[in-house]
């Protein structure tokens, strides 16, 4: 069992003053929490004129996000305004009837039943990445974060738009998404000051340009897809074009189609890429975990690429990734705006308040997890002690749980299995790694590592 404690920001012993808290939140959300917050279960604070409540126990998470979701379904003003230029009224930030209608259309397209269509694309793309790494000299430097971003972007481009139309656009979309996230503001001060949602938010020129680049690429691909003869190649766009609301029979219009394609791209690329990069880092620091992972991959796959049918046979590979999601949840804050007056644990919550579920705190809660800061994949193996419902929410929970959770988890297992059976990655000497949260949780702007081919114990490895 691993004794490795991965890096996390300093935890102050006392809560910050409001000015320091606001400054810290805008720079790195993860650094704002005092040490005691990893034991608190339900607490509140005030940010300027807005009262904020934090659900940090399974019962309060389930109350707000499951049992009483209708009162807490609306995303926070910060999340809505930060992503609106990019996602429009897409599923991730919409609510009410728009959300319900889009969910009915989109959820079946990324449902687990679609995985047989898309798993071969995931594996083929990962195999191409393995071939690229195989042409590098042993010990060659790479940016693991960028490598995983381009791998998952290639997968999601091919998945959404088909192999031919998607391949040419992956790098451009990756750059634009990274640029957008780097420059978007982390705090909606107008909301915290109590100003209304309808008041326009000002976006810098670089933010608008990043969103416009992504929109142009999406519009171009959608237009090209519509103009070419349809064939049997599976793609999300084809399924979205053909999809109808089961209640009304309505199809998505062009703007809605683009918004939902952008949502699926963001959810299927950015979060999975970050988590895979973190996985490589954790493996590089945990030789016992890496050895057990390699043993499973060698035993199950014998040097061949994995298939969808192999995924249930790779429980340790999956456990490694699930433990990565626990330690470094890709979306470490799930924020909502209360729609109606509510009461949690006897404490009144007025409509308009902010309510947070913070996986960064919940997944490291000292009363829920044994050795909460340690990297221990065994806690996710079959037969491990059961976890309370609501204690592990890397894809959220309740009606707004990520519709593509099974897609992303399967993608990660297949990519990790394809690459880890042939390569080890090592952190470049002198490199410092520290989690930083903007819209998603990243290991900084880069993850400098080196690539090392494995000595494979069977002939198939040379093929």
Do the beta carbons of residue 14 and residue 33 sit within 8 Å? no
Measure the CA–CA gap between 269 and 274, rounded to whole angstroms. 9
pLDDT at 46: 79
Cα separation, 437 vs 447, in Å, equals 15
- Say if 9 falls within a structural domain: no
Q: How far is CA 337 from the centre of its chain?
A: 21
pTM above 0.75, yes or no: yes
The pLDDT value recorded for residue 203 is: 67
* Mean pLDDT split into 10-residue runs, the chain, 463 residues: 88 84 79 93 84 95 96 86 84 87 84 89 95 96 94 86 64 75 59 59 73 85 72 74 79 84 80 95 98 98 97 98 97 92 96 94 97 98 94 95 90 98 96 87 93 76 43
CB 443 within 8 A of CB 280: no
CATH code (residue 442): 1.10.630.10
- Cβ atoms of 359 and 393 within 8 Å: the answer is yes
Q: Is residue 440 a contact partner of residue 274, using CB atoms and an 8 Å limit? A: yes
Distance of CA 162 to the CA centre of its chain: 22
3 within domain boundaries: no
Q: What is the pLDDT of residue 447?
A: 97
Q: Which residues of 2-14 are buried (b: 16+ CB within 10 A; e: fewer)?
A: beeebebbeebee
pLDDT of residue 236: 81
Q: Which residue's entry shows tokens 């940016």?
A: 143
**In angstroms, what is the C-alpha Rg of the chain?**
22
Give the separation between CA 110 and CA 113, rounded to whole angstroms: 8
- d(CA 282, CA 8) in angstroms, rounded, equals 13
Q: Are 392 and 321 in contact (CB under 8 A)?
A: no
| Cβ(324)–Cβ(415) below 8 Å | no
Query: What confidence score (pLDDT) does residue 362 get?
Result: 98
Residue 338 counted as domain residue: yes
**Structural domains counted in the chain:** 1
Per the domain annotation, does 98 fall within a domain? Answer: yes
* Continuous segment of H or E residues that includes residue 165: helix 163-167
- Rounded CA-CA distance 44/39 in Å is 14
What is the maximum span of the chain, computed from C-alpha positions, in angstroms? 66
Task: Evaluate whether residue 113 is within a structural domain.
Answer: yes
Round to whole Å and give the CA distance between 189 and 193.
6
Pairing of strands 74-75, 423-427: unpaired
* Residue 8 placed within a domain: no
Domain housing 153: 18-462
Residue 161 in domain: yes
Q: Count CA atoms closer than 13 A to 173's CA, side-chain side.
A: 34
Backbone angles phi, psi at 68, to 5 degrees: -120, 35
Separation in Å, CA 264 to CA 16, 28, 216, 220, 279: 37, 25, 16, 17, 22
């Amino acid at each position: 069992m691993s004794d490795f404690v991965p890096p996390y920001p300093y935890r102050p012993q006392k809560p910050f003053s409001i000015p320091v808290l606001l400054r810290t939140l805008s720079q790195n959300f993860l650094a704002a929490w005092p040490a005691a917050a990893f034991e608190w279960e339900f607490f509140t604070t005030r940010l300027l004129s807005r009262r904020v409540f934090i659900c940090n126990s399974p019962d309060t998470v389930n109350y707000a996000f499951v049992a009483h979701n209708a009162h807490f379904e609306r995303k926070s003003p910060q999340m809505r305004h930060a992503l609106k230029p990019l996602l429009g009224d897409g599923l991730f930030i919409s609510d009410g009837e728009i959300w319900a209608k889009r969910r009915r259309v989109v959820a079946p397209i990324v449902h687990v039943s679609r995985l047989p269509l898309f798993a071969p694309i995931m594996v083929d793309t990962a195999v191409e990445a393995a071939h690229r790494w195989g042409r590098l000299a042993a010990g060659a430097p790479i940016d693991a974060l960028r490598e995983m971003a381009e791998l998952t972007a290639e997968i999601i481009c091919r998945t959404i738009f088909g192999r031919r139309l998607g391949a040419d656009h992956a790098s451009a979309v990756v750059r634009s998404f990274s640029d957008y996230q780097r420059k978007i503001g982390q705090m909606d001060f107008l909301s915290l000051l109590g100003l209304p949602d309808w008041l326009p938010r000002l976006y810098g020129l670089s933010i608008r340009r990043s969103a416009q680049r992504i929109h142009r690429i999406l519009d171009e691909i959608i237009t090209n897809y519509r103009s070419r003869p349809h064939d049997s190649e599976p793609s999300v766009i084809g399924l979205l074009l053909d999809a109808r609301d089961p209640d009304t029979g309505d199809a998505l219009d062009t703007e809605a189609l683009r918004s939902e394609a952008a949502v699926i791209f963001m959810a299927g690329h950015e979060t999975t890429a970050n988590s895979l990069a973190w996985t490589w880092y954790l493996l590089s620091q945990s030789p016992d975990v890496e050895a057990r992972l390699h043993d499973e991959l060698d035993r199950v796959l014998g040097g061949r690429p994995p298939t969808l049918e192999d995924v249930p046979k790779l429980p340790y590979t999956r456990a490694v990734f699930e433990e990565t999601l626990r330690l470094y949840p890709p979306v470490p804050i799930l924020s909502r705006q209360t729609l109606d007056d509510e009461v949690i644990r006897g404490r009144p919550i007025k409509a308009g308040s902010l309510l947070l579920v913070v996986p960064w705190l919940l997944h490291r809660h000292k009363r829920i997890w044994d050795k909460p800061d340690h990297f221990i994949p065994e806690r996710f193996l079959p037969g491990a002690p059961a976890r309370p419902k609501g204690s592990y929410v890397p894809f959220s929970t309740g009606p707004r749980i990520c519709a593509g959770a099974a897609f992303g988890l399967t993608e990660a297992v297949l990519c990790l299995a394809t690459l880890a059976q042939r390569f080890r990655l090592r952190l470049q000497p002198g490199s410092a790694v520290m989690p930083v949260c903007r819209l998603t949780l990243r290991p900084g702007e880069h993850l400098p590592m080196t690539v090392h081919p494995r000595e494979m114990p069977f002939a198939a490895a040379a093929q």
